[in-house]
Amino acid sequence: MPLELSYADKSHTEFLYKRNRPLFDHVIEKLKQHVPGITHVDAKTTEEGRVLLRFQDGAFADPFLARHVSDGTIKMFAYLVLLHDPKPHPLICVEEPENQLFPWPAVPSPGRSLLFLFLCSLW
């Protein structure tokens, strides 16, 4: 039976962490490969059932909560979640991706999502 995001899951992060842990771990590994400095990502479920992510940068002693991590890192995590969704989206459009996202590291497999990147300049 395919897994589907429900109203009980407040985000794709919670959905993946609680219902498809191997896929969540795979997305985290991909994130670590493509974001310089990220050495570890820790996920913790709060008493309220929310999933908090803590990102460890090798240059710092303490990890950062997701709200203190750069927008580019959070966007990369979101793109990776979309690209690795068990039920692929037919079309994913990304408008003006961050500079650090190039060259695009997360091209989907054939037969999955069609990915469009919209750029303002050629370089």
Domain ranges of the chain: 12-88
Q: Is the predicted pLDDT of residue 2 greater than 80, yes or no?
A: no
Answer for the pair 123, 99: CB distance below 8 angstroms, yes or no. no
Tell me: the pLDDT tens digits for 66-122? 888 888 788 888 888 877 877 777 887 777 666 556 555 555 565 677 777 766 766
Q: Is the predicted pLDDT of residue 15 greater than 70, yes or no?
A: yes
Q: Is the pTM of this model over 0.85?
A: no
Residue type, 49: G
Give percent above pLDDT 90 in the chain.
3
Handedness of CA 105, 111, 112, 118 (dihedral sign): positive
- Write down the pLDDT at residue 104: 57
Half-sphere exposure of 49 (CA within 13 A, CB side): 7
